């Protein structure tokens, strides 16, 4: 078993994968991607990820050059080549090679890349105790800039927010939008259980429509936990009975403090939804073999 990469029509070992320096994904962050989870030899909600990839590509005027069936085959083929039954998949479509300059119309052949590797965003101890977050000075871009619902290769805002958190001794960062409402964490959606109701910011506040987020909303409904999309302020998290974040790479992980203020050490709703999510991931998905 080893990390594997599909690039330019073939699967190679990760150490052998190369991207040309004139690829506009490298030069300008011009492209889109999806993070996908493999568990127990099944790719979870693959078609949902491929649909979101299609929507993101359409949003930046990028034609992947592969239809959904072909991209599905790329993912499954790369996972099989890795030999992993549990892994993280990063599926990317870049604008492809072109001359220097930001003009995307001069790139004629998009590049599809699929990476299959292990990923651990938070170690087991952090997951057990819950995460310590800070409120980042970096603001999420408004929808009038680059729509945050588009999952593009330009993640500099998240990179800077994460850096700020790590340098401050925290685990992750909370990003607000220009109006001061909660958008999301650096690489995950945010949930808060406030006054007996589970709330998560809507896309209009700068939150990505996460696949894991959607799964948790469905699970909450099935478990009889009141849930809704609603704008949240930083103060709402501080007064919440519990809070947690979610993402394909992070999974479901509790938040124990924000800016040094303890939120909660007991997180029964988070734990209940985490178990429901794990059960779905274990039994649903496209078989790799």
Catalytic residues: 151
Residue burial 14-36, b: 16+ Cβ < 10 Å; e: rest = eeebebeeebbbbbbebbbbbbb
Task: Answer whether 267's CB lies under 8 Å from 254's CB.
Answer: yes
**Which residue is it, tokens 């890795």?**
82
Most distant CA atoms of the chain, gap in Å: 56
Angle of helix 46-59 relative to helix 68-82, nearest 10 degrees?
Answer: 120
Tally the C-alpha atoms within 13 A of residue 61's C-alpha that lie toward its C-beta: 6
- Angstrom distance (rounded) from CA 56 to CA 31: 9
The torsion angle over the Cα atoms of residues 261, 200, 124 and 49, rounded to 10 degrees, is -150
Residue 196 region, left (φ>0) first, then alpha (ψ -120 to 50), else beta?
Answer: left
227, two tokens: 């849930």
Taking 3-state DSSP, the helix, strand and coil percentages for the chain, each rounded to the nearest 5, stand at 35, 30, 35
Angle at 45 between CA 66 and CA 6, to 5 degrees: 40
Q: In terms of DSSP bridges, do strands 87-94 and 251-258 run parallel, antiparallel, or are they unpaired?
A: unpaired
- Angstrom distance (rounded) from CA 116 to CA 99: 29
In 3D space, the residue among 30, 47, 41, 29 whose CA is nearest the CA of residue 211 turns out to be 47
């Amino acid at each position: 078993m080893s990390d594997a990469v599909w690039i330019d029509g073939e699967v190679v070992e990760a150490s052998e994968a190369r991207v040309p320096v004139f690829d506009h994904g490298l030069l300008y962050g011009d492209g889109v991607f999806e993070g996908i989870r493999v568990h127990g030899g099944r790719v979870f909600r693959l078609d949902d990820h491929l649909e979101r990839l299609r929507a993101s590509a359409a949003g930046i005027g990028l034609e992947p050059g592969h239809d959904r069936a072909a991209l599905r085959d790329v993912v499954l083929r790369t996972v099989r080549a890795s030999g992993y039954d549990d892994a993280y998949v990063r599926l990317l479509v870049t604008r492809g090679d072109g001359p220097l300059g930001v003009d995307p119309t001069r790139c004629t052949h998009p590049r599809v890349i699929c990476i299959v590797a292990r990923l651990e965003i938070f170690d087991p101890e952090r997951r057990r105790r819950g995460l310590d977050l800070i409120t980042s000075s970096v603001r999420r871009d408004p929808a009038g800039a680059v729509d945050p619902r588009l999952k593009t290769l330009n993640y500099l805002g998240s990179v800077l927010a994460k850096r700020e958190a790590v340098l401050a001794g925290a685990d992750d960062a909370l990003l607000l939008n220009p109006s001061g409402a909660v958008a999301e964490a650096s690489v995950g959606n945010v949930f808060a259980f406030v006054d007996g109701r589970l709330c998560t910011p809507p896309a209009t506040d700068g939150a990505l429509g996460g696949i894991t987020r959607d799964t948790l909303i469905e699970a909450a409904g099935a478990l009889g936990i009141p849930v809704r999309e609603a704008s949240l302020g930083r103060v709402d998290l501080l007064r919440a009975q519990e809070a947690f974040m979610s993402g394909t790479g992070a999974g479901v992980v509790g938040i124990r403090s924000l800016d040094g203020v303890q939120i909660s050490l007991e997180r029964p709703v988070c734990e209940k939804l985490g178990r429901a999510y794990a059960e779905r991931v274990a039994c649903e998905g496209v078989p790799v073999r």
